[in-house]
Amino acid sequence: MKTISIKVRDFSHSFGPKRTLKSISLDIYKNEILGIIGPSGSGKSTFLCALNRLNDLVRGSTEEGLIELDGEDIYGPGVSVVELRRKIGMVFATPVPLPRSIFENVVFGSRMAGLKNRRKLGELARESLEKAGLWEEVKDRLDLSALKLSGGQQQRLCIARILALKPEFILLDEPSSGLDPISTMKIEDSLRALKDEYTIILVTNNTKQAARVADRTAFFLGGELVEIGATEMIFRAPSDPRTDDYISGRFG
Amino acid sequence: MRIRPRLEEKIVRAALRLLTLLTVAILLLIVGFILKKGLPAVSWKFITSNPVDMGRGGGIFSTIIGTLALTLVAVVIAAPVGIGTAVYLTEFTWENKITRVIRFGAECLAGIPSIIFGLFGFILFVDKLKFGWSILSGGLSLAFMLLPTIIRTSEEAIRCVPADYRQVSFSLGSTKWQTVTRVVLPSAIPGIITGIILSIGRSIGETAVVIFTAGSALRLPTSLFSSSRTMAVHFYILAREGISMSNAYGTAAVLIIAILAINLATYYLLNKFIRKYS
């Protein structure tokens, strides 16, 4: 029996009057890669940002229902949002390196968490960059501005940056939407390598990407979860005709 | 009838170039005039010795110190308050009635003639609070005058910081305070500094506020409670009362050179800073 890491029950979300998620219920297992597919505007990204409460930054964001992370209600009273976000790393659609050096980008979160020891930070940076598959390319120029890296390198830097926080979960919001096929391939390789240690939730517009890397896939449409199941099942024999229509490219 | 596009472009380009030249010409004319009239009076001795006989003789040392002291007090008070207000308006509250009132208040403050600040400072600081004509009264009144500029320029600079930076910072487990101080403000610093330079320029050149609140004593100021004369006030009194036109222009020349030097120095430092952070 697989361990449930995240339990979502009847979770709904709105931005002001606009309903963005309608009564979502699903489980996310430990150390799986869950792919989330669906057309734009289907609530995929909002769902991701509900998991680390990044929606809180948007005015008029309200939610109801339950999200439990390792048994703890993340919207419950007394929950430290800061601690929560340290457990959940997030990679955005466009890589956003902060305007500082490669090194400072990687250790940013750890510095904010209070780590000061220069040697430890150095080790952490190396370890994280290695895991993200970027170390060899940048090891001689860690002091270079992160803005000078290529798009693909920046995205792997963003992955290294969250790995440095030693999170349990990694959320990726269309991480390769702006990248070329080779950079995309490198990122997918890193994801497969990371699966043993982390639980990964991958939102993607590219259904083929979900088919390539996800263990299970969820299909969102208009703020609803249409279906969720083993990736093979979803792609070979979806139970809902809308899923079939989307995957075979009849809409979306 | 419509003129041909190419010709039209040529005309527009020429007209715009002419306007630009005009602006530069006016600037050069004023600076050139002041320097031509003033530089003969300026010497090392003029800068480093105190005025003698109401300014007929001697130099302007005490007024330089007075100007620096007043500006320093004004900026040290106005910058933290102004930047703090801007941070509050942009980062710590959603747009609502209160923020609109604050912003409207600041805009109104910006439109008030400086002599009103002078009068207000006189009544509040000099008279009611009994600070007398002093650097403290003058600095506080100048700070009031500078606040709107600093708030507005800081707010604009902070708004220009990409929202993505904040999102990334929060997603990496930073607190609000860390996000503001480590990510938002460093990115907004160039804009904020520009606002502060503008303010420094304004307070160095300000006459009306200072004359009402800091007085016009020619002695070298010794404390925050000393009355003091700034270069701008000195120039005004020398010229207005016909004490010494050559010393008046000398003072003006030093004033202009100082403002130019401050601008150049800050932009140089700013460039270094920007290169380091991006």
pLDDT in tens, B130-163: 999 999 999 999 999 999 999 999 999 999 999 9
Q: Which residue has the tokens 């798009």?
A: A151
Q: Could you report how far apart the first and last alpha carbons of chain B are, in Å?
A: 51
Q: Does A94 contact B164 at a Cβ distance shorter than 8 Å?
A: yes
* pLDDT value at A56 more than 80: yes
Residue B265 belongs to domain spanning = 44-277
In a domain, A94, yes or no: yes
**Are B30 and B57 in a shared domain?**
no
In a domain, A252, yes or no: no
Q: Does A98 contact B165 at a Cβ distance shorter than 8 Å?
A: yes
B238, B246 contact by CB (below 8 A): no
Q: pTM of the full predicted structure? A: 0.84
Residue A150 belongs to domain spanning = 4-247
Cβ partners under 8 Å of residue A38, min gap 6: A44, A219, A220, A221, A226, A246, A252
Cβ partners under 8 Å of residue B112, min gap 6: none
In a domain, A52, yes or no: yes
Nearest to B215 by CA among B207, B223, A211: B207
**Are B68 and B96 in a shared domain?**
yes
pLDDT at A225: 96
Judged by a CB distance cut-off of 8 A, whether residue B78 touches chain A is no
CA distance A111 to A109: 5
- Would you tell me the crossing angle of helices B135-159 and B114-121 to the nearest 10 degrees? 130
Nearest to B122 by CA among B209, B211, B213: B213
**Chains A, B: CB pairs < 8 Å:** 62
In a domain, A91, yes or no: yes
**Are B36 and B79 in a shared domain?**
no
Total domain count, chain B: 2
CA distance B261 to chain A (A): 29
Q: Does A92 contact B164 at a Cβ distance shorter than 8 Å?
A: yes
Please tell me whether residue A167 adopts helix, strand or coil conformation: coil
B146, B202 contact by CB (below 8 A): yes
Q: What is the pLDDT of residues B181-211, one digit of tens each?
A: 999 999 999 889 989 988 998 899 899 999 9
**Are B49 and B183 in a shared domain?**
yes
Question: Domain with B74 in it: what CATH number?
Answer: 1.10.3720.10
Judged by a CB distance cut-off of 8 A, whether residue A54 touches chain B is yes
A46, A21 contact by CB (below 8 A): yes
Judged by a CB distance cut-off of 8 A, whether residue A114 touches chain B is no
Q: Which residue has the tokens 């390539």?
A: A212
In a domain, A159, yes or no: yes
**Are B33 and B159 in a shared domain?**
no
Contacts 24+ apart (CB under 8 A), B36-39: B37/B246, B37/B249, B37/B252, B37/B253, B38/B249, B38/B250, B38/B251, B38/B252, B38/B253, B38/B254, B39/B250, B39/B253
**Are B246 and B267 in a shared domain?**
yes
Specify which residues A27 forms β-bridges with. Answer: A7
One digit per residue, the tens of pLDDT, for chain B of length 278 reads 567 888 889 999 999 999 999 999 999 999 999 999 999 999 999 999 999 988 888 889 999 999 999 999 999 999 999 999 999 999 998 888 999 998 899 889 889 999 999 999 999 999 999 999 999 999 999 999 999 999 999 999 999 999 999 999 999 999 999 999 999 999 999 889 989 988 998 899 899 999 999 988 989 999 999 999 999 999 999 999 989 999 999 999 999 999 888 888 888 888 877 776 65
Q: Does B173 contact A83 at a Cβ distance shorter than 8 Å?
A: yes
Q: Which of A56, A94, A98, A149 to mutate to test the interface with B (most CBs of B within 10 A)?
A: A98
The pLDDT of A55-81, averaged and rounded, is 93
**Are B34 and B164 in a shared domain?**
no
Q: Which residues of B238-266 are buried (b: 16+ CB within 10 A; e: fewer)?
A: bbeeebbeebbbbbbbbbbbbbeeeeeee
In a domain, A196, yes or no: yes
Nearest to B155 by CA among B191, B206, B109, B121: B191
Judged by a CB distance cut-off of 8 A, whether residue B168 touches chain A is yes
B146, B74 contact by CB (below 8 A): yes
Q: What is the pLDDT of residues A119-157, one digit of tens each?
A: 999 999 999 999 988 999 999 999 999 999 998 899 999
Percent over 70 (pLDDT), chain A: 99
pLDDT at B173: 93
Residues of A in contact with B164 (CB under 8 A): 92, 94, 96
Residues of B in contact with A55 (CB under 8 A): none
Total domain count, chain A: 1
Q: What is the pLDDT of residues A223-244, one digit of tens each?
A: 999 999 999 999 998 999 999 9
**Are B116 and B26 in a shared domain?**
no
Q: Does A108 contact B169 at a Cβ distance shorter than 8 Å?
A: yes
Cβ partners under 8 Å of residue A134, min gap 6: A153, A156, A157, A160
Question: Domain with A87 in it: what CATH number?
Answer: 3.40.50.300
CA distance A237 to A231: 10
Residue of B nearest to A84 (CA): B173
Q: Which of B91, B168, B274, B278 to mutate to test the interface with A (most CBs of A within 10 A)?
A: B168
The pLDDT of A92-101, averaged and rounded, is 92
**Are B35 and B48 in a shared domain?**
no
Judged by a CB distance cut-off of 8 A, whether residue B266 touches chain A is no
In a domain, A124, yes or no: yes
Residue of A nearest to B165 (CA): A98
CA distance B193 to B195: 5
